[in-house]
């Protein structure tokens, strides 16, 4: 069966933030390693980019046991996670 490979040279990749925002919306918190995979940045550049997004307020760092386990999410999603945790703790205490 013949096949045809088409390469679109005029298609630009979306900016890193658009890719990361979409990834978080579909998959949850993002870590440095996933940002590197998505963007092609090296470890140091990915760390700097994540810190910059935290300073800008578009990401928040989630609690982690170590720097290697750090992950980030959008502020509105972090608030939802905090709310669900507090609700589940309240239910656990009443049983």
For 44-63, give one letter per residue: b (16+ CB within 10 A) or e. Answer: eebbebbeebeeeeebbebe
- Name the band, by pLDDT with cuts 50, 70 and 90, for residue 5: confident
Q: What's the pLDDT tens digit per position in 19-49?
A: 999 999 999 999 999 999 999 999 999 999 9
How far apart CA 57 and CA 69 sit, in angstroms, is 20
State residue 67's pLDDT score: 84
Of the CA atoms within 13 Å of residue 25, those in its CB half-sphere come to 7
State residue 95's pLDDT score: 46
Average pLDDT, the chain: 84
Question: In Å, how far from its chain's centre is CA 89?
Answer: 26
Domain spans of the chain, in order of start:
16-94
Mean pLDDT to the nearest integer, 72-87: 74
Is the pLDDT at 11 greater than 70, yes or no? no
| CATH C-level class of 16-94 | mainly alpha
Nearest to residue 20, comparing CAs of 5, 34, 1? 34
Is the pLDDT at 76 greater than 70, yes or no? yes
């Amino acid at each position: 069966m013949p096949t045809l490979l088409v390469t679109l040279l005029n298609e630009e990749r979306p900016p890193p933030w658009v890719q990361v925002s979409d990834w978080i919306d579909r998959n949850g918190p993002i870590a440095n390693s996933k940002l590197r995979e998505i963007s092609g940045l090296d470890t140091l550049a990915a760390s700097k980019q994540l810190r910059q997004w935290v300073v800008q307020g578009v990401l928040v760092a989630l609690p982690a046991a170590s720097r290697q386990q750090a992950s980030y999410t959008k502020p509105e999603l972090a608030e939802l996670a905090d709310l669900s945790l507090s609700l589940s703790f309240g239910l656990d205490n009443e049983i």
